[in-house]
Structure 1
Amino acid sequence: MALSPLFHSNLPSLQFVLLVSIFIFSGSLYASDDPHLSLDYYASICPTVFDIIRKEMECEVLSDPRNAALVVRLHFHDCFVQGCDGSVLLDDTITLQGEKKASPNINSLKGFRIIDKIKNKVESECPGIVSCADILTIAARDAVILVGGPYWDVPVGRKDSKTASFELASANIPTADEGLVSIISKFLYQGLSVTDTAALSGAHTIGMARCANFRARISGDFETTSDKGPMSETYLSNLKSICPAAGGGDNNVSAMDNITPNLFDNSYYQILLRGEGLLNSDQELYSSILGIQTKQLVVKYAHDPISFFQQFSDSMVKLGNITNPDSFTNGEVRKNCRFVNT
Structure 2
Amino acid sequence: MKYITIKDIAKKLNTSVSTVSRAFNDKSDINAKTKEVVLKTAKEMGYRQNRMAKNLVQRRSFNIGIVVPEFVNSFFPEVIMGAQDVLFEKGYQVLITQSNECYTTELKNVQSLENSMVDGLLISLSSETANIDYYQDLVNSGFPIIFFNRTYKEIKASKVLFNDYKWAMFATEHLIRQGYRNIYHFQGIKTLTLSRERRRGFMDAHKKHKITVEPHQVITSGFFMEDGEIIAKKLIKNNTIPDAIFAANDQLAIGAMNVFKNNGYKVPEDIAFIGFSESKMGSIVEPPLSSVKQPTFEIGKQAAKLLLDQIEAGNNHSPQTVMLDGELHIRESSQKKI
TM-score scaled by length of structure 1 = 0.28
Structure with the larger RCO, 1 or 2 (CA within 8 Å, 6+ apart): 1
Greater strand content: 2
More helix by share: 1
Q: Which has the larger radius of gyration?
A: 2
